[in-house]
């Protein structure tokens, strides 16, 4: 793999962290504090699973965090619990070949089909595997399985290699792409890639902006771009400049969304007002939803962006609640309601 180490890509990663340090989010500048980290990890788990079509919620994840493994019956609950245990594992262990294998076993426990199981004594797959895109279309094959032990050894060499701060910020995304390129398992390769990326960040590049990756990917626009960036890099002979540029771009965008989210929350708190969980989620969506022209959108735009399927009345209730807080401006036209972010009132970035 190669990439063009140009300043533009690097500035996205450096800029995201600088924005956080100079904003209301500077309280999270060292995210390794356990209470702060838990909140972001739960969001990471929710989003990472949603990328692959496994639906969960922050409340459900918090509930499963307190539930014993033997009390689980539903497959989605087991998958989610495995993710919780996987993130707990990487927080207390270093990246080694043995620990990567242990992480894979944690994430895949009780979830693999018979033909997806690894052979006894094998750390990696023993046959070919297809690589699929976001629409489950086969776009490539994983590397020759006989090369996997050697190539995974090279991954550990890269992890342990001495790097500058700037190289550390990029390294987690190099690892992310490398795991997808290798596809060392019959399944769970994307999930492993995202957890490995987080793992590296935690140990070597504790930049809060890098914790927002899965959440940034997990919307209809960014998810398609994510798969396209992977394909563009693969088609260019694993020139991962395309992938790094895309990841840096969405992280910078989502960093601004999070900063604006906390700006509004803090100002409301100062006025003695708080948001329930449903309104918090709605606020994140309206900060992220793409707009054109004068910036107006309607409830259908919100629904299409949010991945959710509720009634029109529910969406209007959420949006009108944000309007009552002066977070949104409302415009009526021909019996329809259009909404726009009230950016000036809140001094958003």
Q: Does domain 7-257 match CATH 1.25.40.10? A: no
Provide the 10 A C-beta neighbour count for residue 45: 27
Question: How far is the C-alpha of 189 from the C-alpha of 183, rounded, in Å?
Answer: 6
CB-based contacts of 316: which residues, under 8 Å, 6+ apart? Answer: 299, 337
pLDDT at 111: 93
Q: Domain 275-346 adopts which CATH fold?
A: Arc Repressor Mutant, subunit A (1.10.10)
Averaged confidence pLDDT in the chain: 89
The domain spans of the chain are: 7-257, 275-346
Task: Classify residue 48 as exposed, middle or buried by CB count within 10 Å of its CB (0-12, 13-18, 19+).
Answer: buried
Q: Which residues of the chain have pLDDT under 70?
A: 29-37, 133-135, 220
pLDDT at 36: 60
163 burial class (0-12, 13-18, 19+ CB within 10 angstroms)? middle
For residue 134, what pLDDT is reported? 63
**What's the pLDDT score for residue 117?**
94
pLDDT at position 42 = 84
Q: What is the value of pTM for the model shown?
A: 0.90
Span 148-165, pLDDT tens digits: 999 999 999 999 999 998
Sign of CA dihedral 203, 207, 208, 212: negative
Name every residue whose Cβ is closer than 8 Å to that of residue 93 and which is 6 or more positions away in sequence. 99, 102
Provide the pLDDT for residue 9.
86
Residue with tokens 């890639």: 193
Q: Which residues pair with 330 in a beta bridge?
A: 339
Confidence (pLDDT) at 217: 86
The model's pLDDT over 196-228, given as tens digits with 9 standing for 90+, comes to: 998 998 888 877 777 778 888 887 678 888 889
User: Which residues, in sequence order, are CB contacts of 294 under 8 Å at separation 6+?
Assistant: 340
Res 29: pLDDT: 63
pLDDT value of position 31? 61
Q: What is the pLDDT of residue 320?
A: 96
Q: Give the 3-state secondary structure of the chain.
A: CECCCCHHHHHHHHHHHHHHHCCHHHHHCCCCCHHHHHHHHHHHHHHHHHHCCCCCCHHHHHHHHCCCHHHCCCHHHHHHHHHHHHHHHHHHCCCCHHHHHHHHHHHHCCCCCHHHCCCCCCCCCCCCCEEECCCCCEEEECCCHHHHHHHHHHHHHHHHCCCCHHHHHHHHHHHHHHHHHHCCCCCCHHHHHHHHHHHHHHHHCCCHHHHHHHHHHCCHHHHHHHHHHHHHHHHCCCECHHHHHHHHHHHHHHHHHHHHHHHHHHHHHHCCCCCCHHHHHHHHHHHHCCCCCCCCECHHHHHHHHCCCCCHHHHHHHHHHHHHCCCEEEEEECCEEEEEECHHHHCCC
Strands 328-333 and 138-141, by their bridges, are: unpaired
């Amino acid at each position: 793999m190669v990439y063009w180490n140009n300043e533009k890509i690097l500035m996205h990663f450096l800029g995201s962290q600088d924005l956080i340090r100079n904003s209301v989010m500077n309280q999270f500048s060292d995210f390794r504090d356990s209470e702060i980290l838990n909140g972001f990890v739960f969001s990471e788990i929710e989003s990472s699973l949603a990328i692959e079509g496994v639906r969960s919620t922050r409340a459900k994840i918090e509930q499963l965090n307190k539930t014993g493994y033997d009390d689980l019956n539903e497959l989605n609950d087991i998958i989610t619990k495995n993710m919780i245990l996987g993130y707990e594992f990487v927080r207390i262990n270093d990246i080694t070949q043995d620990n990567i294998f242990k992480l894979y076993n944690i994430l895949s426990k009780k979830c693999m089909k018979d033909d997806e199981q690894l052979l006894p004594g094998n750390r990696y797959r023993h046959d070919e595997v297809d690589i699929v895109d976001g629409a489950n279309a086969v776009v490539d094959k994983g590397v020759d399985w006989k090369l996997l032990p050697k190539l995974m050894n090279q991954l550990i060499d890269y992890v342990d290699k001495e790097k500058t701060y700037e190289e550390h910020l990029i390294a987690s995304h190099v690892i992310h792409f490398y795991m997808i390129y290798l596809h060392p398992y019959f399944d769970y390769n994307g999930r492993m890639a995202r957890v490995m990326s987080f793992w590296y960040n935690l140990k070597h590049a504790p930049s809060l902006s890098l914790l927002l990756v899965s959440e940034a990917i997990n919307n209809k626009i960014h998810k398609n771009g994510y798969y396209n960036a992977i394909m563009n890099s693969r088609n260019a002979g694993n020139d991962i400049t395309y992938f790094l540029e895309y990841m840096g771009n969405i992280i910078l965008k989502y960093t601004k969304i999070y900063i604006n989210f906390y700006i509004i929350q803090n100002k409301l708190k100062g006025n003695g007002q708080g948001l329930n969980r449903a309104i918090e989620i709605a606020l994140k969506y309206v900060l992220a939803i793409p707009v054109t022209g004068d910036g107006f959108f309607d409830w259908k735009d919100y629904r299409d962006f949010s991945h959710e399927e509720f009634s029109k009345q529910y969406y209007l209730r959420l949006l009108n609640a944000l309007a009552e807080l002066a977070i949104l401006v409302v415009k009526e036209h021909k019996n329809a309601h259009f909404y726009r972010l009230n950016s000036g009132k809140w001094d958003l970035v």
